[in-house]
Amino acid sequence: MFDIRHLRYFLAVAEEGNVTRAAEQLGLQQPPLSQQIKALEQELDVQLFRRKPRGMELTDAGRALQVDAKHILGHMAKARAKVERTARGEQGNVVVGFTSSAPFHPFLPRLFRLFGERFPHVSLTLEEHGTTELVEGLRAETIDAAFVRSPVAESHGLSVHAISIEPMFVALPNNHPLAPVPGVDNFPPLALEDLADEPFILYRRHTGPGFYDLIIAACNRAGFTPKIAQEAPRLISTLNLVAAGLGVTLAPESLRSLQLEGVAYRSLKSDPGLTAPLNLACRAVDHSAAARRFVEMARAEARATKAAKEDGGNNNA
C-alpha cells in the first residue's frame, strides 16, 4: 500500500502541475520524484496524471485522489500536533479533586481560570470528595491532583505541597448570646474557652480527620473537651446545622463568604495551632504531562501569592 510520503509527493506535483517545480519544493531531484509518482500509479493501477510538454495535468482519478490526499495529510498534521501538545502537557484531561470547603478559597477559582487561559486544550474535570476518598483516587490514578485540608502523609508515591494557611472563625446561630449585634462593628475576637459549654458541630472525622483533630486539640489547649452534638458529612453542612440552632462550629476564614441565613460569624483570638491549611496532594511521579503542568502552575501561583502578601506586609510595616 502507498505511504504518506507518496501522498505528499503526489500533492506537490498536483499543486505545481510540474515535476521540476514540485521537486524543488520538496528538495528532491526530478528523476526520483518522477519514479515515485510512477510507482504510486502502478500501486493504484490507475493513471493519475496526463503528461504534457509543459507540465502535468490531473486525470479524473487524480482529482479524486487529490481531495482525499488533502484530508488525509490534514488529519495527519492535526494528529501530530495533538500528540506533540499532549507530550508537552498542553493537551489532555486533568482530574482535580477537592474537599467541600476548598473551592471557597479564592486561590482555587483563580487557578482554574488561569490554567484554562494558559492551556486551552487541556480539560479540567472537577470532583468533590472527602480527603480519604481523594487520597484513594490519587493512588488508584482516577484523580490527578487533590486540594485537601487534612494532613496527608507523603508515602505510597504521594507528594504534598502547601498552598495556603488561613485562620479559623466561629459560626454561631444568629440569635446566640455571643453573636454580634446587627449594625454594630468591631466586635472583639472570641476566646475559644468562651465556647466551653457550647454544643459543637464537627465535620465527620472519617471524611476529614484533619479538621476534626485540629478542633479537638485546640479546645484541649483552651482547657476543655468539646461537647460534640452533631457530626456532618460535609464542612458546608456544619454551617447549615448551625443555622438550625443545633450548635456552633469552627471553619476556615474563606467560608465567611457564605452569608447563610441564621448564621453569625465571630473571629477567634490568635492560636498558632488553630489554622486551616490548604494543601495540594499529587502523585510523586506522574506520567501525565498535563497533570504535571497543573501541579507546577498551582505551586508557582501559590509562591507568587505568598510573595505578594509578604511584600504587602513589608510595605505596611
Please provide the DSSP assignment of 87-141 as one string: HTTSSEEEEEEE-TTGGGSTHHHHHHHHHHHH-TTEEEEEEE--HHHHHHHHHHT
Three-state DSSP class for residue 280: strand
Specify the CATH number for 165-275; select among 3.40.190.10, 3.20.20.240, 3.40.50.300, 3.40.50.150: 3.40.190.10
For the chain, give every residue range classified as CATH 1.10.10.10.
4-87
CATH for 92-163+277-316?
Answer: 3.40.190.10
pLDDT values of the chain reduced to their tens digit, one per residue, 317 residues: 567 888 888 888 888 888 888 888 888 888 888 888 888 888 888 999 988 888 888 899 888 988 988 888 888 877 776 676 666 666 788 999 998 889 999 999 999 999 999 999 899 999 999 888 899 999 999 999 999 987 776 667 899 999 999 999 999 999 999 998 876 667 788 999 999 999 999 988 877 677 788 899 999 999 999 999 999 888 888 999 999 999 999 989 998 888 889 999 999 987 777 888 899 999 988 788 899 999 999 999 999 988 887 776 666 55
Question: What's the chain's length in residues?
Answer: 317
- Give me 275's grid cell: 489554622
Pairing of strands 275-283, 145-148: antiparallel
Q: Which residues pair with 183 in a beta bridge?
A: none
Q: Which residues pair with 58 in a beta bridge?
A: 49
Angle, in degrees to the nearest 10, between helices 289-316 and 107-118 = 130
Q: Please write down the long-range contacts of 253-262, taking CB distance under 8 Å and 24 or more positions apart.
A: 253/166, 253/167, 253/168, 253/169, 254/101, 254/104, 254/105, 254/106, 254/166, 255/101, 255/104, 255/169, 255/171, 256/169, 257/104, 258/104, 262/173, 262/174
CATH for 4-87?
Answer: 1.10.10.10
pLDDT for the residue numbered 81: 66
What stretches of 170-260 show up as alpha helix (H) in DSSP? 209-221, 235-243
Do 119 and 149 touch, CB atoms closer than 8 A?
no
For the chain, give every residue range classified as CATH 3.40.190.10.
92-163+277-316, 165-275
Q: What is the DSSP letter of 189?
A: P
pTM to 2 decimal places: 0.70
Q: Which residues pair with 125 in a beta bridge?
A: 95
pLDDT for the residue numbered 156: 72
List % helix, strand, coil for the chain (3-state, nearest 5): 45, 25, 30
